[in-house]
Structure 1
């Protein structure tokens, strides 16, 4: 890792909004070893890192435009912060949500994602929450079984949302009801992306990559990646796929490693696309892509 304010830290997650503007949440390995809840936060703007601190283990981020422009961060136990144009609020998803579930809930939040500009947080035991404003989360998971351990969520609109998780499970939400989709795999699914080409892409363990929509799903028979796929992103006109060690572009049903240039990252994990820019972050590397070339930020 080059000599940046993140030297000695481990990146947990990052999200980009515009070229030269994004957010990075990291951890101190010593505090992690001592199990001290924390996050070290950075706003990155045009080469400058502005550091902050959080007293909970924030591990997933989403840039939202509804109900106003903001950044939502969540932790596994349910703590969150909403850094909005009108101010910052913090709280507990389980305390700040309605309607109440049939049984009390604690922990198990896996990820937060923006759908139609709104933040959706998902987790184990069939949990889905929508952020409607400071201190206002709406539980939208009635009908999902407790056996569905949700790992990721994405959608085309409020009335076509896909949640994926363990055992190859895919569920579809029409804005009112959830129903299961017939999945062609039983591996853990880790990421889902509703793409501008009209297809839904889903990825998971052992290089599994699916394509489809609603009741029609097929396996993309790529032969390049057998590692677990951890994230998907659509950027400009293509699907990008990330493992822990590399980033690939889907081209004619095959995955091609991207060309990072003469300074490739040693770690990959997640992808994030904003306006005219995509980021790839691993534990120790953060790379930015403008559609032509990759440049290193960290």
Structure 2
């Protein structure tokens, strides 16, 4: 197997505490390696540079890996296959950036404010009223998507844009910032959290948004997750949590060279993936996971 330092680790998807997936890249191959942790590492190869991964806990269970060029790789008990989101790759609107289960289906989004929904393994557009003209000379686009269900979906991205979709119609919210927003999370507490560059954190719902003021960092918050009834956020250097409405830095006790960036969680554990390091938290202790 390729040596540890050959891999740059990226996004993480927690299926359960015994099965976790991590995207990794190497200069030695053009696509993406998907590593699976079950106490030891195994892996499979995806023939695309991938922008996201998600676990679908359905029947059958699936791991969907989003190719930035407009394809999705499906891994399931009945085998592996590729699905096309867009017919002409790359998409005329630009690269895809995020994939997320919402309600009974899976959604993907990206530049040009393009949004797609997967139903019965077939991808369909659901961005009427929000997608940009493919000839537009702009930098608008979505970096992240999430929802409380398919009747209330949120997307955010470049220039601080926040949009939401209710009953099939997209509407634009008045955002409190014009800074690039990197991640959206619709949390079990009924609040939408949005994070991004310069340490920005926003909370709200529909048309009402407010900044969570803090002076802890101006690093980009790349990712968020919900675990142990609270919000967790990651920069490349540290983890933070929102406790009683106040942002706090997390002291993990991990070695000082620990890198962070991406997060995912279920009811049992929270995982962190940095460029070179992985860690898991069970609600009491942080454990450094050996890199593949």
Of 38, 42, 53 in structure 1, the residue corresponding to residue 31 of structure 2 is 38
- Candidates 132, 153, 156, aligned match of 2:119: 132
Distance in 1 between residues matched to 2:131 and 2:87, nearest whole Å: 21
CA distance in 2, matches of 1:87, 1:30: 26
* Displacement of 1:28: 1.0
**Offset at 1:84?**
2.6
1:204-224, Cα deviation, whole Å (9 max, x unpaired): 111111111111111111111
Aligned residues: CA RMSD: 2.2
Q: Deviations over 1:164-196 (max 9, x none)?
A: 011111001114110001111111111111111
Contiguous gaps of at least 5 residues in structure 2 = 133-137
Moved more, 189-198 or 109-118: 109-118
Q: What are the equivalent positions in structure 2 for 1:164-243 lying under 5 Å apart?
A: 164-243=156-235
Q: Distance in 2 between matches of 1:132 and 1:68?
A: 14
SS in 1 for 2:154: strand
SS in 1 for 2:6: coil
1:267, CA displacement in angstroms?
Answer: 1.3
* TM superposition score normalised by structure 2: 0.90
Q: Paired residue for 2:262, among 270, 287, 290? A: 270
- What SS class does the counterpart of residue 261 from structure 1 fall into? coil
User: Contact 1:64 / 1:117 at 8 angstroms: preserved in 2?
Assistant: no
User: Deviation at 1:67?
Assistant: 6.7
Aligned to 2:287: 295
- Please say if residues 16 and 274 of structure 1, whose CA atoms lie closer than 8 Å, have aligned partners that are also in contact: yes
Instruction: Return the alpha-carbon distance in structure 2 between the equivalents of residues 57 and 265 of structure 1.
Output: 27
2:86 to 90, 94, 99: 94
The alignment of Structure 1 onto Structure 2 pairs a total of residues equal to 283
CA contact (8 A) 1:224 1:254 kept: no
Contact kept, 8 Å, 2:32 with 2:46, in 1: the verdict is yes
